[in-house]
Amino acid sequence: IFRLFLHTRMKMGLLLLLIICQCAIHSIKTHGVSKPNIILLMADDLGIGDLGCYGNRTLRTPNIDKLAEEGVTLTQHIAASPLCTPSRAAFLTGRYPIRSGMAAFSRVGVFLFSASSGGLSSEEITFSKLLKQKGYATALIGKWHLGMNCESNNDFCHHPLSHGFDYFYGLPVTNFRDCKPGQGSVFLKGLQKDLVIPIQIAAIAVVSLAIVQYIGLLKVPFQALGYCLIIITISLVVLIFFFYHFRHLNCFLMRDHQIIQQPLSYENLTQRMTKEAMQFIGRNTNTPFLLVLSYLHVHTALYASENFKGKSKHGLYGDAVEEMDWSVGQILDVLEKHNLSDKSLVYFTSDQGAHVEEISSAGEVHGGYNGIYKGGKSTNWEGGIRVPGLLRWPGVVQAGSYIDEPTSNMDIFPTIVKLAGAELPSDRIIDGHDLLPLLQRKVTQSKHEFLFHYCNAYLNAVRWHPGNSESAWKVFFFTPNFSPEDSNGCYDSHVCFCHGGFITRHDPPLLFDLSRDPEEKVPLTPETESRFYEILRAVHQAVDNHTRSLHAVPNQLSWDNILWKPWLQLCCSSLFQSCYCDHESGGSPLQVHLG
């Protein structure tokens, strides 16, 4: 009896020990996938074909490729918009930009000036707001492009610090050709097209009135003629002043709410931003942090520091890509240095595809490579919206794995919000889905049965991935008119537009199966696809459901909200001193060691 009693006690003890071990292991696993550090790296206008891990064999991107080797590669990762401003709004909020008013009904789909009144509404909930509430230190370094002020030049209603970031170091708008002397202008061609005719009409009208007044055919008060001349003259003076000083007024560097360099200097710029990111990580080794490093590379104006100039096989564009890759390596190294690699989720992407129409005045290609995919930035062909998607988290996601399911940059919002232990907002639709079950292979199918592709505020195309099929159907309601016709972009207008004579509407819509035709070369027809009308019916039903879920919101990209407003202009000195200051030049650049 004693032996039986002892044997039973031992078995119970072993069982208890096993339960305790399992609980401990579960606790460790749970701790491992909760409140990790979040590092989100976003390139600007980078083509999916520019990276070694997506098939490029001539550009050197070993550090970005390392993310793929040690993490997951998403092969069908889709930007919510093919333009910077709406894509970034969707990324931060997990919602289609049409829901936040960040999709334009006019031709211009992004913010162009620092003194515009539009921007990401304070009503929107960003992942940075939710993570900050959960004790995360939060920083945005680099490009913002989601607005600055509303009614005065210091209300900062759209500023990153008003959207959940503790720290901001970067550009409030974006990197334009006009920001770098000698790189040309993104506005000149448009101004020539849009302003020459109105100016000619106004001049002819004033001269005609003066003539009929002189010969006595019509009595026109000299006062009216005077007012007309004054208005035209003032308008021209303001326009000339603005574009002459564009670089000073729109291309400047801020730290939090303070301008620290106006105009922006490109000297060691990537090193400075990388150093800021590394210092932020160093300050937060003992607390969970969110770092969004939003590179200016490889949007034009292109630039590269002396250590990278002339080193790539693809001119200045390649130099810029390789410098960005170096920066990614620095971030990974500092995580390793502080033993944070296993506690950190690192994500790399681009806001949209490469800008294929970017060619310098000297004829050098300044746009990237979208691989086999058609089109580029500003279009919803795959080249404009299929972007790199790399996620690394050692011990949590499987290294070297690939996921060929539709995913979106909107998915980052619910993924990191849940990891931080925060609740998803219940008062609004979140269009993104948590990626972790897919990344950990707990599920094999994406939750995105349908994805809606907008060209500005116009529904352009729909992607359908049925649950019982490997097909990825894509339906286009209209397509951009490429110029020249046999080219791969809208070279005559620099970007493609979304309405009027710039597009061709299709009835019935164009249908592709991306699983068989990822290059979108051959539209399917009722003769070549037996389910043609069945597919269109399913897509139209999805569009109806989606449209019913939309609610009217203020349009942040209306003409009134995107035009320059002098009273909103940020200036570190005064307009009469050309808005000049430089509090950056004294800083020591980060040492660059090239392998």
Q: So which residues are the catalytic ones?
A: 84, 145
Structure letter (DSSP) for residue 156:
-
Outline where DSSP puts E strands in 302-398: 344-350, 389-392
Largest CA distance in the chain: 132
| Helix, strand, coil fractions of the chain, as percent rounded to 5 | 35, 15, 45
Yes or no: say if 370 and 378 are a contact pair by the CB < 8 Å rule: no
Whether residue 56 contacts residue 376, with contact meaning beta carbons closer than 8 Å, is answered with: no
- Sheet bearing 503-513, strands edge to edge: 450-455, 458-464, 473-480, 503-513
Of 391, 409, 410, residue with least CA distance to 401: 391
Instruction: Report phi then psi at 125, rounded to 5.
Output: -105, 120
CA distances from 487 to 71, 374, 529, 547 (A): 36, 10, 28, 33
Three-class DSSP category at 513 = strand
Q: How far apart are the first and last CA of the chain?
A: 73
CB atoms within 10 A of CB 426: 6
Q: Which one-letter DSSP state was computed for residue 530?
A: T
Helix-then-strand count for the chain, H and E: 14, 17
- Cα–Cα distance for residue pair 73/59, rounded to 1 Å: 18
Phi/psi zone of residue 590: left (φ > 0), alpha (ψ -120 to 50 degrees), beta? beta
User: Over the Cα atoms of the chain, what is R_g?
Assistant: 27
Q: What is the DSSP string of 248-314?
A: HHH--EEETTEEEEES---TTHHHHHHHHHHHHHHHTTTS-EEEEEE--TTSSSP---TTTTT-SSS
Q: Which amino acid appears at position 352 of this protein?
A: Q
In residues, how long is the chain?
A: 595
